[in-house]
């Protein structure tokens, strides 16, 4: 029987096991231990920033950053409508309002041209999302935020190692948030990281991360904080992952090239991912978009591929069709693109023969569903 190809899986081929066993052997298994600092330093150096603050997951890192930035009830934060729901949820956790804007074709990253029109006197900041590993247009975004004196919180959960203008994501805004969930390029099972060059902001995030305990006075709590700390075991895995980061990113570039070569003949049927000038894709996920058909056809293509033993994922539904954030406003690019997008398997365990198999079954599924429908409207699940 042909082995099933998962859409994502972790690769734990370095010192992860050795470092975790060291944690167990020395009894340093909770949120204290040498691996936390080592992992933070490794990640800060990788991103080219002064500070990295480890958290227990990517969602809490987003929330922690917003609290430290002083987001308050009544404030507004501009976000792309196409993103993972945590981006919007964390704004709501602060009793602030996420203001949705449309995205650009191809990358589905936030459209800088839509940002300025969405700014109001209540706007405090922008959360650009480096969706699926392709950086947002941070130079244009920064010019807008500097003009209006807004913070920039990079949601880099999916973009470890991606670059824009020669600089790595995580160093392009006021602060950045990363996720280390089990399907990410660097994983700790669950985990997150904040990166910044702002000394005062870093100190505040560290304070809030540990229940708000004064670092100079044990068990004295001058502020209300959170238990958003990473464990030493998670950090041990993360350090082992960071020691292999160059190889991980190189393999994903290779996978992207394999896909491009195998799918080139389908250019009249599907849109392939690309890199905008000045950016470097990290290929957390390799996405394709059907040029015709709607969500119904997309789902049928995925079902046919699944029956062949290949797991895929739909591109995120836009926030404006989700019940908690439902709007009647039209977002033309998000509506026409998101419902036709498919995440193909993307992880370091894939071989060229795997990519050929995926491409073959994708080709068959596209042929079988040709003409199924032509409605591009996104629909709520």
Q: Does the pLDDT at position 380 exceed 50?
A: no
Residue 258: which domain range? 245-368
At 7-25, the pLDDT tens digits run 999 999 999 999 999 999 9
At 284-300, the pLDDT tens digits run 999 999 999 999 999 99
154 plus 254 within the same structural domain: no
CATH code for the domain of 121: 3.40.640.10
What's the rounded mean pLDDT across residues 210-225?
Answer: 96
149 plus 121 within the same structural domain: yes
pLDDT for position 115: 98
What is the number of structural domains in the chain? 2
At 121-134, the pLDDT tens digits run 999 999 999 999 99
In a domain, 125, yes or no: yes
pLDDT for position 374: 53
pTM of the model: 0.95
Confidence of residue 204 (pLDDT cuts 50, 70, 90): very high
Which residue, of 225, 242, 259, is where some domain finishes?
242
In a domain, 71, yes or no: yes
In a domain, 11, yes or no: no
In a domain, 68, yes or no: yes
56 plus 132 within the same structural domain: yes
184 plus 271 within the same structural domain: no
In a domain, 176, yes or no: yes
Which residue, of 242, 275, 296, is where some domain finishes?
242
At 39-91, the pLDDT tens digits run 999 999 999 999 999 999 999 999 999 999 999 999 999 999 999 999 999 99
What average pLDDT does the structure give for the chain?
96
pLDDT for position 376: 44
115 plus 155 within the same structural domain: yes
Q: What is the 3-state secondary structure (H, E, C) of the chain?
A: CCCCECCCCCCCCCCHHHHHHHHHHHCCCCCCCHHHHHHHHHHHHHHCCCEEEEECCHHHHHHHHHHHCCCCCCCEEEEECCCCCHHHHHHHHCCCEEEEECECCCCCCECHHHHHHHCCCCEEEECCECHHHCCCCHHHHHHHHHHHCCEEEEECCCCCCCEECCEECCCCCCEEEEECECCCCCCCECCEEEEECCHHHHHHHHHHHECCCCCCCCCCCCCCCCECCCCHHHHHHHHHHHCCHHHHHHHHHHHHHHHHHHHHHHCCCEECCCCCCCEECCCCCEEEEECCCCHHHHHHHHHHHHHCCECCEECCCCHHHCHHHCCCCCCHHHHHHHHHEEEECCCCCCCHHHHHHHHHHHHHHHHHCCCCCCCCCCCCC
Which residue, of 191, 217, 242, is where some domain finishes?
242
300 plus 339 within the same structural domain: yes
Confidence of residue 372 (pLDDT cuts 50, 70, 90): confident
Q: Does the pLDDT at position 1 exceed 80?
A: no
181 plus 315 within the same structural domain: no
At 226-249, the pLDDT tens digits run 999 999 999 999 999 999 999 999
223 plus 325 within the same structural domain: no
199 plus 327 within the same structural domain: no
In a domain, 2, yes or no: no
232 plus 308 within the same structural domain: no
What's the rounded mean pLDDT across residues 218-232?
Answer: 97
In a domain, 6, yes or no: no
In a domain, 203, yes or no: yes
CATH code for the domain of 363: 3.90.1150.10
What's the rounded mean pLDDT across residues 351-372?
Answer: 95
47 plus 160 within the same structural domain: yes
Confidence of residue 371 (pLDDT cuts 50, 70, 90): confident
80 plus 208 within the same structural domain: yes
């Amino acid at each position: 029987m042909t082995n099933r190809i998962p859409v994502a899986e972790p690769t734990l081929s370095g010192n992860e096991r050795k470092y975790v066993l060291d944690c167990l052997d020395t009894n340093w298994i909770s949120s204290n231990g040498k691996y936390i600092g080592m992992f933070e330093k490794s990640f800060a150096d990788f991103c080219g920033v002064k500070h990295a603050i480890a958290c227990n997951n990517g969602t809490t890192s987003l929330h922690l950053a917003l609290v430290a930035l002083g987001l308050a009830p009544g404030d507004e934060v501009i976000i792309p409508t196409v993103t993972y729901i945590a981006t919007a949820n964390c704004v709501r956790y602060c009793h602030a309002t996420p203001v949705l804007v449309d995205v650009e074709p191809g990358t589905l990253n936030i459209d800088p041209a839509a940002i300025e029109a969405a700014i109001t006197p209540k706007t405090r900041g922008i959360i650009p999302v480096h969706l699926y590993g392709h950086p947002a247009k941070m130079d244009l975004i920064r010019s807008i935020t500097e003009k209006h004196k807004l913070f920039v919180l990079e949601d880099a959960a999916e973009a470890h190692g991606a670059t824009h203008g020669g600089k790595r994501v995580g160093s392009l805004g006021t602060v950045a948030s990363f996720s280390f969930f089990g399907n990410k390029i660097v994983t700790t099972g669950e985990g997150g990281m904040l990166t910044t060059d702002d000394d005062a902001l870093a100190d505040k995030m560290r304070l809030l991360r540990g229940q708000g305990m004064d670092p100079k006075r044990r068990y004295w709590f001058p502020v209300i904080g959170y238990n958003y700390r990473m464990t030493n075991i998670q950090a041990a895995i993360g350090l082992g992952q960071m020691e292999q980061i160059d190889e991980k990113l190189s393999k994903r570039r290779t996978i992207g090239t394999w896909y491009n070569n195998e799918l080139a003949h389908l250019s009249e049927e599907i849109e392939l991912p690309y890199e905008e000038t000045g950016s470097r894709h990290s290929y957390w996920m390799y996405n394709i978009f059907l040029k015709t058909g709607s969500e119904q056809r997309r789902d049928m293509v995925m079902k046919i591929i699944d029956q062949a033993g290949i797991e895929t994922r739909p591109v995120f539904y836009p926030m404006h069709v989700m019940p908690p954030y439902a709007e009647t406003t039209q977002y033309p690019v998000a509506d026409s693109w998101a419902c036709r997008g498919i995440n193909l398997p993307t992880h370091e365990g894939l071989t060229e023969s795997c990519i050929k198999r995926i491409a073959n079954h994708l080709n068959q599924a596209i042929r079988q569903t040709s003409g199924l429908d032509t409605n591009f409207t996104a629909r709520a699940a």
